[in-house]
A and B are shown apart, each in its own frame.
Chain A
């Protein structure tokens, strides 16, 4: 009985010595602006690149898979006028772990994914708007949410 007791204590001590992994996600800038452009000469409008950086520690549980997703809260709106959020796509580098995609308000789209720890990973994401004469004049806004998760 004493032997079992000691083993239990040792395992408990080992587990407690391994810290739970941590993860930090940063987005910069937090405002993505598309200037007005002539659809004939600028059919695709690019915003200034967004820097996505994240740290995912190597602690206990940090060896699993992870992903960064992005989801819009809805279409772009300016009063009663709307532009479908799917009009915005992005190109991201480096690939992997980043990947290109299209914004959606219904399904979170994967921006990056991987396995294990990421000591200090940075990516550049350039959002692009499909320009059109069909858009009503106005200033449209919408919020997008970046989420770093580990299953």
Chain B
């Protein structure tokens, strides 16, 4: 028997409530513990390349599906903003809004993923010591730096622009970014807070590529970091071969939404 419009609406509301309850109550309990600061050593023969990025500068990294990038905040005083595109079709790119919406959380940590705008997984957070990252405020810009530095200084927006230009992309291609080691939260009135106690020297994330990617990472102080400009220190990037994901890989199995996103991603390479 055909459903009435009202019955369809009620069924859709029930499904939404079930997904919300699972996504905000069950899923977070199943997430893995944060990585220890001295945990998850990389086997020497798995390292592909290693690079230090000075304060204020950027690096472009191409990652093949299955490779991972370790991003290390050696000093505990850096923040690293990231954007990325699928190598074979750069119109597919990081999408912070879908990342947050699909996972029911503006906070990402070990076990979470970063999604593209096409319902696929760009990167998995296979290791993460802090879970203190920002997807809402974005990186520094020419306008955001004079307050801290007295003069416009090197900044993430111009780094993204320069890096994009070197791979044939432009201002149009720079989406909202995620910033690692940027402990931003929202208070009950909606104001942004900086939780400096959640930064430690040696914090790192391992980002496993779930598709072939071009990434840009900008090592510029976050615009909300009150310790600017003293926060300027180098960061370390280590590109390495990640172990192949097991069938119960924590990043691939967090929720029905994420299982679907991986199925769509795997379809690209089937």
Task: Tell whether A and B belong to one assembly.
Answer: no
